[in-house]
C-alpha cells in the first residue's frame, strides 16, 4: 500500500511539474511582444510638433506696456490738456464742479493779483488733481525787451504766494499774450506752455461758438486755451467736457499729457502741443 501510494504521488508530481514547466515556457513567449509594442508608442509622442510651437511663442510677451503715470490714463488713447488763463475767479469754481463731475483735470495759469483774492479755488483745483501755472503777477507787463530781473519781478511774488498756499511754486510759465524773448525764457527756470487751440472765448463771449471751435479744431495731444473769467466759458465747458469724453478724449493736466506722450518738459523750452515729431 505504501509503495503504491508513493508511486502514485510521484506520478502526480511529475505530471504537475511538467505541466507547469510547459506553462512557464509559453507565458514569456506571449508576454514579450507587449513591452515592445508599449515601447514603440511613446517613441512617436515626442515627435509631435506641438512643443516646438510653444517655444517659438514664448518670446512675444517681452513687449510689455510702459507703466502709466496715472493709473486712470491710457497712453494708447487720445488725450488733451484743457488750460484756463487769467483767473482764478467765480467761474473757476463752476468749471471745477464740471471737471469733478466727469473725473477730468485741467491746468490753471493764474494771475498773482487774482490768486491772492481767490486762493480757495486754487486749493480746490489742486485737491482735484489739477495743475497750477504762473501767468505773472499783474498781467500788465510784456516779458520782452526787459531785463531778467524785471521778468522775475513778474514771476516771483506769485510763486512765493503759491508756496504758502499749496506748498510749491508754479510748474510752468505762460507769459501774457504768449509774448517773451530769450532773456525771459532763460530767466523762468522752467518750461513755457503755450497752446495749440485758441478758443478766443475772451473775444466772442459766446458758449456755442467756443464749443464749435473746439469741436472743429481738437486733436490728440492738443493744448486748449480758455479763460476761467467768463460765465460763457464755464457754460461751454459744461457742454464740451462730456462731448470730448464721448469722442474718446482723456482730459488730463499738461504734465500728464507730456508724460503719457513720452516728451520731457525742459526749462528754457516752449511747448504748443504734445505731438511726437519723430
Q: Are 162 and 188 in contact (CB under 8 A)?
A: no
Q: Across-strand partners of 227?
A: 85
Kindly state the helix (H) or strand (E) to which residue 79 belongs, with its residue range.
strand 79-85
- Residues 212-241, interacting with Zn ion (CB under 5 A): none
* 85 noted as active-site residue: yes
84, 86, 121, 125: residue in contact with Zn ion (rule CB under 5 A): 86
Which of 201, 213, 227, 228 is flagged as catalytic?
227
Closest contact distance (angstroms) between CB of 98 and Zn ion is 21
Q: Which of 73, 85, 89, 197 binds Zn ion (CB under 5 A)?
A: 85
| Residue 201 in grid coordinates | 472765448
Whole-angstrom distance, CA of residue 96 vs CA of residue 79: 19
In order of 154, 192, 232, 272, the CA distances from 176 in angstroms are 11, 11, 21, 15
- Which residues, 6 or more positions from 255, have their beta carbon under 8 angstroms from its beta carbon? 107, 131, 171, 265
Q: How many residues bind Zn ion (CB under 5 A)?
A: 3
Q: Residues 74, 85, 213, 278: which is the catalytic one?
A: 85
- Told to judge if 113 belongs to the known catalytic residues of this protein, a careful annotator would answer no
Name which of residues 153 to 192 contact Zn ion (CB under 5 A): 176
- Distance of alpha carbon 57 from alpha carbon 233, whole angstroms: 54
Nearest-approach distance from CB 268 to Zn ion, in angstroms: 22
Q: How far is the CB of 86 from Zn ion (least distance, A)?
A: 4
Site string for Zn ion, 41-80 (x = CB under 5 A): ----------------------------------------
Give the residue numbers annotated as catalytic, written as ranges: 85, 227
Q: Which positions touch Zn ion (CB under 5 A)? A: 85-86, 176
Amino acid at each position: 500500500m505504501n509503495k503504491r501510494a508513493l508511486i502514485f504521488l510521484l506520478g502526480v508530481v511529475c505530471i504537475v511539474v511538467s505541466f507547469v514547466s510547459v506553462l512557464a515556457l509559453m507565458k514569456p513567449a506571449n508576454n514579450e511582444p507587449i513591452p515592445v509594442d508599449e515601447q514603440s508608442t511613446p517613441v512617436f509622442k515626442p515627435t509631435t510638433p506641438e512643443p516646438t510651437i510653444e517655444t517659438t511663442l514664448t518670446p512675444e510677451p517681452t513687449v510689455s506696456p510702459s507703466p502709466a503715470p496715472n493709473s486712470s490714463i491710457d497712453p494708447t488713447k487720445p488725450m488733451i490738456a484743457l488750460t484756463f488763463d487769467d483767473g482764478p475767479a467765480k467761474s473757476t469754481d463752476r468749471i471745477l464742479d464740471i471737471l469733478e463731475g466727469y473725473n477730468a483735470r485741467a491746468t490753471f495759469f493764474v494771475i498773482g493779483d487774482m490768486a491772492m483774492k481767490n486762493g480757495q479755488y486754487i486749493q480746490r483745483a489742486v485737491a482735484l488733481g489739477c495743475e497750477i501755472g504762473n501767468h505773472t503777477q499783474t498781467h500788465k507787463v510784456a516779458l520782452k525787451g526787459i531785463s531778467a530781473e524785471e521778468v522775475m519781478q513778474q514771476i516771483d511774488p506769485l510763486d512765493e504766494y503759491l508756496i504758502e498756499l499749496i506748498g510749491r511754486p508754479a510748474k510752468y510759465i505762460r507769459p501774457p499774450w504768449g509774448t517773451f524773448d530769450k532773456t525771459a525764457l532763460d530767466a523762468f527756470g522752467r518750461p513755457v506752455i503755450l497752446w495749440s487751440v485758441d478758443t478766443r472765448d475772451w473775444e466772442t463771449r459766446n458758449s456755442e461758438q467756443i464749443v464749435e471751435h473746439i469741436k472743429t479744431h481738437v486733436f490728440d495731444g492738443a493744448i486748449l486755451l480758455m479763460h476761467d473769467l467768463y460765465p460763457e466759458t464755464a457754460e461751454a465747458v459744461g457742454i464740451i467736457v462730456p462731448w470730448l469724453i464721448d469722442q474718446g478724449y482723456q482730459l488730463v493736466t499738461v504734465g500728464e499729457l507730456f508724460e503719457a506722450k513720452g516728451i520731457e518738459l525742459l526749462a528754457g523750452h516752449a511747448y504748443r502741443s504734445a505731438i511726437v515729431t519723430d
